[in-house]
Structure 1
Amino acid sequence: MARSILLRVALLFILCQLGYTAQAGSGFADLKPGPHGVGFRVVQQYDYARSYRDKTDLVTGKPYAGEQARPMQTLVWYPAQKTGTPLRYADYMRTEATDEVLGRTEAEVAAFMDGRRQWATARLGAKQAQAMLAQRMWAVPNAPATTGKFPVVIYAAGGGGVAHEAADLCEYLASHGYVVLASRSLGTRTSLMNFDQEGLATQARDIQFLLSYAHTLPQADMTHVAAAGWSWGGLANVLAASQDARIDALVSFDGTQHKDNTVAVSRMRLTVPWLYVQRRPESVRELSANDMETSSILLNEAKYADLYHVVMNPMEHLDFSTLALRVAQPDHFTEYSRAEVETAYHWTCRYTLEFLNATLKGNAAGRQFLDRTPAQNGVSPHMARLYHLPAQTDLVPTQAGFAAALAQQGFAYALEVYRRMQQQDPTFVLPESALNTWGYQLMRDAHDLPAALAIFRLGTALYPGSFNLFDSLGEADENNHDPATAIQHYRRSLELNPQNSNARQRLQALGAPAPSTSAN
């Protein structure tokens, strides 16, 4: 009896080891795993800071009594110990059942999966569909995490896409030492994405929610964060990076470039390294047929980003989703074969890995990979082209760029640097209120009185009619033990606004007569 139990235990151990050995082999598109195992978990949570459901269901018109907060079911891939039984591709598809309605019953999930099997069968046939659903992946559900801290990658799905659409890439990155998070691309108020500025802002906020959640993960190195995404998600991550300085690098897979969609993205705030991988180039005739305005393209205008632009000639737009590739019909592959398209996807993942290694990990081999031509890296001739557009080294015309320049050159040169930045970019303007606030922050928070004086002086030079800036400059003069200059500035403030009681009180305290109102 004891020997029988030992044999069963030994057999189970061997099967587990074989299971992980299978996982450790080449993946989709012949991707090779890294040194880590891959763990996977599904976190069902809500963003309670935002609503998703109205009190009236927008589809049925009936009253809605369920949870109104935004559902944010989160898929997490992470470096793990090499143990356990990997999941099947059907397990990824199963997560779709609860990516909007988190509390579905097992019976509802089973019914959903029946529908997905029928969908796959209709496209591939019963035998091939079953093989796809049964495919062994790399990830092991809830596998023990590897010790250490790892850079974080937030993945944004294409418009309306499911969180696992790039599961192969996410597993690949996790095996090479990254924590990867993704959620479904939901619209602002329904499951279908609204392709407008509100929908874009919604997905950008989803990225920020996942970034916030990543802070709770013990493995996450939040000092090194990238945002990646495909199509609509490949633009939403750019918007997020232009608004959130915690994002250190960008990866966009054929992100939309339509002028109307990119209006909200501040070109001047895009200052991080950016890998943009696109499908085969389209002719001007094709672009025009698709209503693509070519005179203003974000890729050309993001001149302060260190841009690596890769063109994958065999790939169409849908080919960046391995879910779409798995069910692609034979007639989808015309000029290039399925094998060539999958090879291009392999290199897309490889470029992503090396770019992240170079930018987030400071890896010299990754930087060398980016510096070589695709052919020098082993890519088949005519499959890919790489364009490197280094970031311009000029001063970045934003308040942050201006402050950085003053920190380096000295606040005494504020007006000179400001004029130079305006020559570089005539749209660069620091509002009166921003300068006044900045001066007080320097004086009261940073305790840097000389810098505060320089900013207030800059403000009065740029806005000579601002009574408030002259009043603030007078206060800074007082703190600088310069009453004579303070009196001059308080008097100028009163000349501009005789109702400024603070300037009148300060002049009285300094023993100086206020200017007569008749002078105005």
Structure 2
Amino acid sequence: MDTNSKIKRLTILITCIILSTISYGQTSIKNINLKAGKYKVGFKHYTINDCTRTYRIHNDFNNQLIERPIPISIWYPSKIENNSSKQLTVLNYLEILKEEEEWNDLPNYFLLDWFPYLWNTPENKAHLSEKVTAFSNSYFLIGNFPVIVYAPSYQASSIENFALFEYLASNGFVIISSPSRGTETRWLEGGSSKDMETQSRDVEVLLKEINKYENIDVDRIALMGFSFGGLSNVITVMKNKNVSAIVSLDGTERYNYAILEKSPFFNLEKFSVPYIHFAQKEIPEEVLNSDKIPAELNYKFQLYDSLKYSEAYSFRFHDLSHSYFSSFGVLFANRDQRQDKSDDKIMVSYKLMSEHTLQFLNAVLKNEKNAKEYIENSPVKNGFSESLFSKKMKQAVTKEFDYKDFNDLALDQGYQNLIPLYKRTIAIHPNLELQEGMLNTLGLRLSFNPKKLEQGVNVFLLALYIYPKSANLYDSLAEGYFYNNDFENAISNYKKSLVLNPENQNAINRLKQLQE
């Protein structure tokens, strides 16, 4: 078996949370001890349809195709109405599984028996009645809140990290999530590039959905994903310029870089947003050998090493195995006695991971200076033992300033005062090259729009400042005037073109035409 095959096999193992040596965990939401922020938390769940894709309900056992359903869970800072709002329980969240797993009419008493990642144990039954922070039937608080779009792990639910979502919402964020589903049915292919692209498209549906909410700031968006969801988020940020940051909860981009490279959208030049990755503990040799996991996955992180234009942070939590980067894992997953730490250590580390996620998001989406310093500090400086987690980081390399960057500046000022802008810019970026052909094309595009003739003229004036002996630039400027029926300026510039190139046949023909 080659390395890629082994990595793919690991991806399936860790995302499905299939453990061969198990014990039952004893945890609770209360003992995780995530202290809520100042906001009350609202929650709602609904489904929209993506009419651009077809889908089949596998459990119906027929060939009927429908529009792709996208179940959506959303947590938000809210106003609680005492008469109608209801504090939710863990059972209320698990009831959403019935829709997402396409067993809508499944009786609740089968929940812990029916789904493979929920085990029917006394400990897990005790979780069902636990109250959570969120309330149903509550209003969006008036404000302008940043948003986190979440991609779940392999074939997992939109609510798999509900404790983290509630914690972030209580601190002023909106979180929106949909389940991880296959392309044609509920089932994924096994962690393929097709699965990754499908989940990326689902994330893009959520990026569109948030525009429906007036209290969400669509200029402050982060992607967050656990396990397989990390892969789709990396591809999504390479396709969408409106994403400001990525949070990866032991994302599979660390384990299966090769699948990223298979995407037609893979382009490291387009990954320039702050990125934080929280990794599991080092996998013990016993587990590596028995599960046939490549040892290099303990130390190799090709994406992190390859990033150039992104501020990147990598944290390794020494008491967390892969399963416990989600609320579901902490509360419901059976423990692997070969490698898992105690329940107390798992809950402490999950809390630490959640708190660092909040600090990172406060830094990148709210521009909080203290949060930025917190993320950049060493664990010891922030008061934590290095036995809990370790950290490394690297600064972004500044991209070379090119003609597209200059054109962005020119566009921002309406293509006015371009020569002074060019002089200031070239003093800072002496290697900047504005090619004559690019300026000529841009000038023509603007000049042929009657409402933008002045902008086109300004571009040509800049171009002629840089290339003063270009007959073609004068000819193109004359064409812009000609198209806009400014024949006096057209004649003047055709003549200037002919002085530099007496054989310019277009200028000769135009002047003849204008004289007639």
TM-score (norm 1): 0.74
Q: 1:265 to 1:490 in 2, by over 3 A?
A: farther
Whole-angstrom distance in 2 between the partners of 1:169 and 1:396? 39
Q: After superposition, give the CA deviation of every residue in 1:15-53 in whole Å (9 maximum; x if it has no partner).
A: xxxxxxxxxx974622110111111001221122x2132
Question: How far is the alpha carbon of 1:323 from its aligned partner?
Answer: 0.9
Question: How far is the alpha carbon of 1:470 from its aligned partner?
Answer: 11
Deviates most, 126-135 or 484-493: 484-493
Whole-angstrom distance in 2 between the partners of 1:491 and 1:350? 72
| 1:426 corresponds to | none
Question: How far is the alpha carbon of 1:293 from its aligned partner?
Answer: 12
- Matched AA of 1:139: A
Whole-angstrom distance in 2 between the partners of 1:380 and 1:215? 42
Whether contact under 8 Å (1:309, 1:386) holds in the other structure is yes
- Matched AA of 1:130: K
| 2:188 corresponds to | 193
**1:174 and 2:169 are equivalent in the alignment:** yes
**1:305 and 2:305 are equivalent in the alignment:** no
SS of structure 1 residue aligned to 2:212: coil
Following superposition of structure 1 onto structure 2, how do residues 311-326 of structure 1 map, counting pairs within 5 Å? 311-326=316-331
Question: How far is the alpha carbon of 1:362 from its aligned partner?
Answer: 1.5
1:29 to 29, 32, 35: 32
Question: How far is the alpha carbon of 1:338 from its aligned partner?
Answer: 2.4
**1:39 and 2:34 are equivalent in the alignment:** no
SS of structure 1 residue aligned to 2:41: strand
| 2:132 corresponds to | 137
Deviates most, 120-129 or 86-95: 120-129
| 1:517 corresponds to | none
Following superposition of structure 1 onto structure 2, how do residues 427-506 of structure 1 map, counting pairs within 5 Å? 438-443=442-447, 444=449, 447-449=454-456, 452-453=459-460, 475=479, 482-484=493-495, 486-487=497-498, 504=506
Q: After superposition, give the CA deviation of every residue in 1:355-403 in whole Å (9 maximum; x if it has no partner).
A: 1111111222212211321222233332112222121124267x75464
| 1:6 corresponds to | none
- Matched AA of 2:200: A
Using the aligned pairs only, state the percent identity: 23
Deviates most, 473-482 or 129-138: 473-482
Q: 1:178 to 1:476 in 2, by over 3 A?
A: same
- Matched AA of 1:310: F
| 2:216 corresponds to | 220
Q: 1:406 to 1:507 in 2, by over 3 A?
A: same
Whole-angstrom distance in 2 between the partners of 1:59 and 1:469? 66
1:110 to 93, 106, 109: 106
Q: After superposition, give the CA deviation of every residue in 1:404-428 in whole Å (9 maximum; x if it has no partner).
A: 5778994589999999489xxxxxx
SS of structure 2 residue aligned to 1:202: helix
Deviates most, 406-415 or 231-240: 406-415
Whole-angstrom distance in 2 between the partners of 1:489 and 1:46? 62
Question: How far is the alpha carbon of 1:165 from its aligned partner?
Answer: 0.9
Following superposition of structure 1 onto structure 2, how do residues 269-288 of structure 1 map, counting pairs within 5 Å? 269-281=270-282
- Matched AA of 1:52: T
SS of structure 1 residue aligned to 2:139: coil
Following superposition of structure 1 onto structure 2, how do residues 43-82 of structure 1 map, counting pairs within 5 Å? 43-48=46-51, 50-53=52-55, 62-64=62-64, 68-82=66-80
Deviates most, 338-347 or 412-421: 412-421
1:386 to 391, 394, 400: 391
**1:358 and 2:366 are equivalent in the alignment:** no
Deviates most, 412-421 or 71-80: 412-421
Q: 1:123 to 1:268 in 2, by over 3 A?
A: closer
CA RMSD of aligned residues (A): 4.3
Unaligned runs of 5+ in 1: 1-24, 423-428, 495-503, 513-520
Whole-angstrom distance in 1 between the partners of 2:283 and 2:464? 52
Whether contact under 8 Å (1:153, 1:227) holds in the other structure is yes
Whether contact under 8 Å (1:39, 1:144) holds in the other structure is yes
Whole-angstrom distance in 2 between the partners of 1:116 and 1:491? 85
TM-score (norm 2): 0.74
- Matched AA of 2:98: A
SS of structure 2 residue aligned to 1:303: coil
Question: How far is the alpha carbon of 1:61 from its aligned partner?
Answer: 7.5
- Matched AA of 1:229: G
Whether contact under 8 Å (1:475, 1:486) holds in the other structure is no
Question: How far is the alpha carbon of 1:333 from its aligned partner?
Answer: 6.4
Deviates most, 181-190 or 232-241: 232-241
Q: 1:190 to 1:416 in 2, by over 3 A?
A: farther
**1:204 and 2:207 are equivalent in the alignment:** no
Question: How far is the alpha carbon of 1:146 from its aligned partner?
Answer: 2.2
Unaligned runs of 5+ in 2: 1-27, 412-417, 483-488
Following superposition of structure 1 onto structure 2, how do residues 343-422 of structure 1 map, counting pairs within 5 Å? 343-395=348-400, 400-401=404-405, 403-404=407-408, 410-411=421-422, 420=431
- Matched AA of 1:77: W
Whole-angstrom distance in 2 between the partners of 1:122 and 1:413? 60
Following superposition of structure 1 onto structure 2, how do residues 260-275 of structure 1 map, counting pairs within 5 Å? 260-263=258-261, 264-275=265-276
Q: After superposition, give the CA deviation of every residue in 1:201-250 in whole Å (9 maximum; x if it has no partner).
A: 22222112112111111321222111111122112122212221211111
| 2:96 corresponds to | 95
- Matched AA of 1:483: Y
| 2:24 corresponds to | none
Q: 1:471 to 1:260 in 2, by over 3 A?
A: farther
Structure number with higher relative contact order (C-alpha < 8 Å, ≥ 6 residues apart): 2
2:332 to 311, 314, 327: 327
Q: 1:123 to 1:221 in 2, by over 3 A?
A: closer
Whether contact under 8 Å (2:162, 2:327) holds in the other structure is yes
Q: 1:458 to 1:327 in 2, by over 3 A?
A: farther
Q: 1:69 to 1:121 in 2, by over 3 A?
A: closer
Whether contact under 8 Å (2:76, 2:169) holds in the other structure is yes
Whether contact under 8 Å (2:43, 2:74) holds in the other structure is yes
| 1:516 corresponds to | none
Whether contact under 8 Å (2:321, 2:340) holds in the other structure is no
SS of structure 2 residue aligned to 1:165: coil
Whole-angstrom distance in 2 between the partners of 1:354 and 1:90? 30
Deviates most, 477-486 or 134-143: 477-486
